[in-house]
Structures are given as structure tokens and as C-alpha cells.
Homo-oligomer: A and B are copies of this chain.
Amino acid sequence: MGIVVQKFGGTSVADPECIKRVAKKVIQCKQQGNDVVVVVSAMGRSTNQMIALAKEISANPSPREMDMLLTTGEQVTISLMAMAIEDLGYKAMSFTGGQAGIMTDEFFGKGKIRSIDTQRMKRKLDEGVILVVAGFQGMTTDGEITTLGRGGSDTTAVALAAALQADVCEIYTDVDGVYTTDPRVVPEARKLDFISYDEMLEMASLGAAVLQPRSVEYAKQYDVKIHVRSSFHDQEGTIVREVSKMEKNVIVNGIAFDTRVAKITINGVPDIPGVAMAIFKRLAKENINVDMIVQSNHKGELNDISFTVSTSESKMALQVMEELNVELKAQGIAFDDTVSKVSIVGAGMQSNPGVAAKMFEALAEADVNIQMISTSEIKVSCIIARDEVQTAVKALHQKFELERK
């Protein structure tokens, strides 16, 4: 058949028994006539254990040495996985990122893949060897070992699938696929057979973190078909791929939500050019990720600017804003870290007016107050009180009839 790239995360390879189980799954794919490339993460919590070890040595270890340390985690898994496959009588060979030809730039801790030299991998695949590649890592042209930063092993898998022109990139996970919303909140939530890259991106970055956003972007760019599926059984999961115009008749495909949101407002800043820039440049300098931004004008000369950040960065953001409040001679900071974001996501939204209104209607019917609104081409997000998230998600799921196919 063709080439299949399979990616297994840390929990799927947490101990020798898990590794043996994955090895069987890999061989099953090989037996079906495919050339198989397996991408694995570090075992279980080993990466976290290594980070803790580094912290015992130094409060601020250099990124180069952190990469040198952390890449050993995946190297352990690839060797054990190759052994497990060989033990079952199949040819296997482990590859570090560098050995797999994954060349990155020089940014330790957040390397970006520059190119992949597939020569050696292709030769080995032709010899019938199952390749086991370390996720999350690459090498510079100087032979320096780098990690890919966020998205790690998912990105490795998608990049390899792109470079090898694989038929599919299978991402094995502990859920059955991508759901219309979190089944723990809405029991009627339905597993999607298909989802577009853009929808997946919105779903992923909104908290339904099945796939790392960066890997989805990569897949979209190189047109790699991703199959998100369970590592516990053989049933089909969700296929992430480009949708044709024809298929865009599904207006809303899913309800995403994120409860780790804090809202910050700076009141009464001057309505002159450069103020917003001053605020968000300062936040960026502190490496704070700002999500939604809303600006409203009052009294014609002063603005209120509200934005949301992750609760993990909210303390830091608040501190920066208190400073800015003084510098900009504003009228005070409002802070609320008990909010959440609820979003409807759907590629068909852009050609269907009235979708946002329908969302607001559903929330109003459920007596949920909307604090902020933000829209993009394929999603509408609302900030609401955190204790109303469940009510809101249920109401939206029902309103858009997502339990029905």
C-alpha cells in the first residue's frame, strides 16, 4: 500500500507493557502491507522528571543544555520500541531526530524544522524496516541537538508524513477522536468523522487539545491527512483534512470552551494612536499570550480596553497592567479570573449569516450573560462567567443540533 506515519504519546509508551502493546499495533499496520514510520514521545512523566532534575542543578539552565537533557527521553523510548518490534520478529530501527534527517534552525527549546532529508529513511523502508523516530527533536547543520518546542511529537509526525508523502498521519491518543464538544459536559456530544484543518485549529487552541495547533498548521500547509484515533481499540477516529466548498454546508461543527481564562480591563486610557500598541507590546515583551481583545469608547475621548489571558499568566499580566495604569494615567484596572470562553466553530459559518445571532439567542434563553464577544471567519467566542460554562455549552450543543449527524 503506502506509507503510514503513526504517533504515540507519552502515556501510550509509559512502561514496558505499554511499549509492547504499541509494538503489536505497529506490526498490525505493517502486516496490512504498509510501510510504517512510528514517532514516539518520552515515556510517561519522564520529561517532567528531567525538568525537575535540571531545576535542582540550576534555577535557569541554558536552553542548549535543556535540549541536550530532554532529548534523551525520546531516545530511550525509540530504542525500547525498536527492541519490542524486533522481539516480535520484525525488522526495526530507531532514529534520533538528527539521524532521521530532521534539520532545524538554531533556536534551542523552540527549534523550527527547516528540512527533512528522507534518503536514509526511504532506503530503510524499502528494506522492509519499521522506522522508529524520536519525536520533538531535530539537529542543526552544526550537529547541535534541538527540541521543537510546543507541539513536539505531533509536529514531528506530521512533518515526516509530509516529507515522506505518507498516505496518512495517525495520531494515537486516549480519546476516540474529535467530538462536537467535551462529552463529559454534554453526554450527547458526537464524534466527528471529519473536521477541517481550520476548524481543528480553533477547536485545539480553545481547549479541546487533542492535537497540538502547530502540527495542524503544518498539516494544513503540506496537505497531510491526519487521523486522530484511540490507542485502545481499532475503531476509526476523526480525519482532519481540507474540506471542499461542497462540504461547507455544515455550519457549526463543534462547541469549544476554555475555563482557564482571566479578563483584564484598563479603564479610561486616552483615545489617541499608539495606546493599544503600548499596552500589547509590553505584554508581549513579558511573553504573555493575549487572546481576545475588545476596545470600547466612552465619553468620546477615553477608551476602555479589555483582553483575556490564560489564568497561568494572569498574575503577571495584572502586574504589568498596574504599571501601565500609572504610566498611561488611566483610570484603573479591573481584573476577573473567574471567567471562561465558549466558542462555536464551523467552516460553513462564513457563508451563513445569522450564526452569531443564533448563538447569542441560545445563551440568552439559558440566561447566560455575555461579557465579551469576538469573531473570526469560522468561530464566534463569548466570555461568560465560569460557573455558567456547563449550561452554556449544553444550550449551544442543543441549539445547533450537534447530537445529530
Contact = CB atoms under 8 A, between A and B. Distances in A.
Interface of A: 16, 19-20, 50, 53-54, 56-62, 64-66, 68-69, 71-72, 75-76, 78-80, 82-84, 86-87, 93-94, 96, 98-99, 143-145
Contacts of A98: 143
A56 B60 CA distance: 36
Contacts of A145: 96
A82 B65 contact: yes
Contacts of A53: 16, 76, 80
Nearest to A56: B16
Given A16-B56, A57-B19, A79 B86 contact: no
A60 B88 CA distance: 11
B66 A79 contact: yes
Given A57-B19, A99-B143, A80 B69 contact: yes
22 contacts: A16-B56, A16-B57, A54-B79, A54-B80, A54-B83, A57-B87, A58-B83, A58-B87, A61-B87, A62-B83, A62-B86, A66-B79, A68-B82, A69-B75, A69-B76, A69-B79, A69-B80, A71-B75, A72-B72, A96-B145, A98-B143, A99-B144
Contacts of A59: 87
Contact of A94 (B50, B60, B68, B87): B68
Given A65-B94, A72-B76, A76-B50, A84 B57 contact: yes
Contact of A68 (B56, B61, B68, B79): B79
Contacts of A16: 53, 56-57
Nearest to A87: B58
A286 B93 CA distance: 28
Nearest to A59: B87
A72 B137 CA distance: 14
A68 B98 CA distance: 13
Interface SS majority for chain A? helix
A41 to B, nearest CB: 15
A80 B57 contact: yes
A127 B110 CA distance: 26
A53 B44 CA distance: 14
Contacts of A68: 75, 78-79, 82, 94, 96
Contacts of A94: 64-65, 68
A296 B143 CA distance: 59
A202 B112 CA distance: 53
A137 B99 CA distance: 16
Nearest to A52: B16
Contacts of A65: 79-80, 82-83, 86, 94
A71 B56 CA distance: 22
A33 to B, nearest CB: 25
A178 to B, nearest CB: 32
A80 B55 CA distance: 10
Q: Which of A20, A75, A80 has the most CB of B within 10 A?
A: A80
Nearest to A20: B57
A269 to B, nearest CB: 42
Nearest to A143: B99
Given A53-B76, A57-B80, A64-B94, 4 more contacts: A58-B84, A59-B87, A61-B83, A69-B80
Nearest to A92: B65
Contacts of A87: 57-61
Nearest to A15: B56
Contacts of A57: 16, 19-20, 80, 83-84, 87
A20 B56 CA distance: 10
A87 B87 CA distance: 43
A53 B145 CA distance: 25
Nearest to A69: B79
